[in-house]
């Protein structure tokens, strides 16, 4: 829970974002998510050139899944650090992050793959119907896309917003072309763990707002 002082700082930050951005192309559910990403990164490009892309069912699908306690599968521990833990407690969401598992390391070496690829493949049962949040590893995103194409998973949402230079932008382009699976992604190299966790936090905030209305 926020302290009164902490909430006042957050409110002032959000108002500053509103004032600086002005008009934008996002709807009433998309904008709180974009604004939260901007708040977490101080990067106004997310509202413009590096705009965030929403598959049409992405927000409703993820809201339904998260409020019903679905698993949240992440590529790195940094995403976990940015999540609001009260949401996880209140809605009973399990966090899955296999990246540091010794078994994953050994299997990645054996198969000549990245740990991120293997960790996603190992989480198939959680990913099917869950929310996947990838903020760092393009290879994790590509593996999830491949599993969707194989027909072995159908996530409630794929948040594909990895940061970097090698395959980051390309992996997002592939996600944006994926049919019939809800996703949120962005154009270009920018992204990161804080962006991925900000999107989840913003979706939970939409859930709470809907419940209280």
Task: Spell out the domain ranges in the chain.
Answer: 4-212
The burial class, CB within 10 Å (0-12 / 13-18 / 19+), for 179 is: exposed
Instruction: Give the whole-angstrom CA distance, residue 62 versus residue 83.
Output: 15
| pLDDT score at 7 | 86
Query: Which residues of the chain fall below pLDDT 50?
Result: none
| pLDDT score at 48 | 85
Of 34, 37, 38, 39, catalytic: 39
Active site includes 39?
yes
| pLDDT score at 164 | 95
| pLDDT score at 50 | 65
> Has this prediction a pTM greater than 0.85?
yes
| pLDDT score at 90 | 97
> What superfamily would CATH give domain 4-212?
Cobalamin biosynthesis CobH/CbiC, precorrin-8X methylmutase (3.40.50.10230)
| pLDDT score at 106 | 96
List the one residue out of 14, 71, 6 whose CA is nearest residue 37. 14
């Amino acid at each position: 829970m926020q302290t009164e002082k902490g909430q006042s700082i957050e409110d002032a930050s959000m108002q500053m974002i509103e004032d600086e951005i002005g008009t934008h192309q996002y709807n009433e559910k998309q904008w709180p998510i974009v604004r939260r990403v901007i708040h977490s990164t101080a990067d106004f490009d997310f509202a413009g050139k590096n705009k965030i892309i929403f598959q049409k069912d992405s927000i409703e699908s993820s809201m339904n899944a998260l409020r019903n306690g679905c698993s949240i599968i992440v590529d790195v521990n940094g995403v976990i650090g940015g999540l609001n833990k009260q949401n996880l407690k209140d809605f009973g969401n399990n966090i899955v992050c296999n990246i540091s598992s010794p078994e994953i390391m050994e299997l990645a070496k054996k198969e000549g793959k990245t740990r991120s690829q293997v960790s996603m493949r190992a989480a198939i049962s959680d990913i099917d119907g869950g929310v996947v949040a990838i903020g760092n590893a393009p290879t994790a995103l590509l593996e999830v896309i491949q599993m969707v194409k194989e027909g072995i998973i159908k996530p409630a949402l794929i948040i594909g917003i990895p940061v970097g230079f090698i395959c980051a932008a390309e992996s997002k382009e592939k996600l944006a072309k994926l049919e019939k699976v809800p996703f949120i992604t962005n154009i270009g190299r920018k992204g990161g763990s804080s962006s991925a966790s900000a999107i989840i936090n913003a979706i939970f905030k939409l859930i709470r707002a809907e419940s209280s209305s």
